[in-house]
Structure 1
Amino acid sequence: MESSMPRTAAIFAVSAVTIGLATTAYFVLSAESGDRFAQCRGGVVSGGGGAIGGPFSLISETGERVTETDVIDGLSLVYFGYTYCPDVCPVDLFRNGEAVRALDEQGIEVKPVFITVDPERDTVQQMAEYTDFMHPRMVGLTGPRADIEAAIAAYRVYSGRVGDDPQDYLMDHSSYSYLMDPNEGFLEFFPSSTPPEEMAERIACYAAEL
């Protein structure tokens, strides 16, 4: 199968749509009282932010086994998708990269992280090429299916295969970006509709409170 990179570059203008509505029930667009980050939030997680995130052990784009403590060692934007995604993933990841660049200009370092939901096709090499194209600091994570499923469950991500062809198939999945901190854990989620300028502004707000 041909590399997805040329196709990715051609479809950045495609409007992003939120896939995997099964996860929507986790998110409530209101701020909790007594929350020191209340002025930064666009929403909270039903059941509390502790419902999102947790341990994982995956393979990095450099071929090393890493855990959540290795990856989320500072403010991080975590996104689940796949490199063969024809529309929403490249748009969201490019948007995340733009937000990170805007934050760099403010002296705020945020690590963009991309975890595949399609490890059967997303090899270490494929992830490295894809993430390098999106942002030079983006970390790509793949691994055995069982390890990917554990990460998917920890982040309450919806994912399902569409199609029976062993190579030519799609992955339906939720498309939220999660702002994580090594000490606070989950801080915020950003749907596909959030523009990079708003993401950068809200992340900067969190950074100021940490």
Structure 2
Amino acid sequence: MRRVLLAAAAVLVAAAPLAACQREGGGGLAGGRVQLGGPFNLIDMNGQPVTEKALLGKPTAIFFGFTYCPEVCPTTLTDLTAWLKALGPDADKLNVVFVSVDPERDTPEQLRLYLSNFDPRIRGLTGAPDAVAKAAKAYRVYYQKVPQEGGGYTIDHSSSVYLFDAKGQFVAPIAYQSPPERAVSQLRALLAG
């Protein structure tokens, strides 16, 4: 029951920033767009520094998760891999980014190993805990460490893939386990501008 309540709370918290932007006078819209995204300073799977500027010039699909995730992350990354395959050569015109919300365990090496199971165009980012927290806040991503019996932990987190245009402006989310044809259609529309 506790897990169900936590999952429901996570969905509400994750949806709240987008819902708040829909209210009249909510202040979250600029030119009809939700204000999501912003500056970050992270490192990639090779230990190289990466900022949000590296994503400009191509549309971007970005997903926040962690490599020890038992279900949502491997499912979403498997979906992303299938969507990229469905896009064919057009998939090369898209940035696809997986940002870890578990910097304690998700080193560049761990990200590289984990992401080797998925499409090679998916780029993994991590960083110091404060840098990850700042990026998650800019992208309005919910995440929270949840202790488990035996001293371990898992992480509850937002589960949507966020789409941005080539200028870094938020376009739309792709919901967790969205039907493949809908997700691919959203990606094609993103690529078409």
- Pairwise same-fold verdict (TM > 0.5): yes
Q: Which secondary structure state, in structure 2, belongs to the residue aligned with residue 121 of structure 1?
A: coil
Aligned partners of 1:179 and 1:188 also within 8 Å: yes
**AA in 2 matched with 1:26:** P
Q: Which position in structure 2 is the counterpart of 1:89?
A: 73
Aligned partners of 1:77 and 1:96 also within 8 Å: no
Q: Structure 1 residues 167, 145: closer, same or farther in 2, change over 3 A?
A: farther
**Equivalent position to 1:20, from 1, 10, 31:** 10
Asked whether 1:47 is paired with 2:31, we answer: no
* 1:166-205 alignment, distance < 5 Å: 168-205=152-189
Q: Which secondary structure state, in structure 2, belongs to the residue aligned with residue 53 of structure 1?
A: coil
Which structure dedicates a bigger proportion of its chain to helix?
Answer: 2
In the alignment of these two chains, the number of paired residues is 178
Q: Which secondary structure state, in structure 2, belongs to the residue aligned with residue 27 of structure 1?
A: helix
Aligned partners of 1:115 and 1:141 also within 8 Å: yes
* 1:144-163 alignment, distance < 5 Å: 144-163=128-147
Q: Structure 1 residues 144, 167: closer, same or farther in 2, change over 3 A?
A: farther
Q: Structure 1 residues 132, 80: closer, same or farther in 2, change over 3 A?
A: same
For 2:77 and 2:141, the matched residues in 1 are separated by 16
Aligned partners of 1:100 and 1:109 also within 8 Å: no
For structure 1, the 5+ residue unaligned runs are 1-16, 32-44
How far the C-alpha of 1:184 sits from its partner, in A, is 5.0
**AA in 2 matched with 1:23:** A
* 1:25-174 alignment, distance < 5 Å: 25-27=16-18, 47-48=28-29, 49-106=33-90, 109-163=93-147, 168-174=152-158
For 1:90 and 1:46, the matched residues in 2 are separated by 35
Q: Which runs of 4+ in 1 moved over 3 A?
A: 105-108, 164-167
For structure 2, the 5+ residue unaligned runs are 1-6
Aligned partners of 2:62 and 2:98 also within 8 Å: yes
TM-score (norm 2): 0.82
Q: Which secondary structure state, in structure 1, belongs to the residue aligned with residue 117 of structure 2?
A: helix
**AA in 2 matched with 1:20:** A
TM-score (norm 1): 0.76
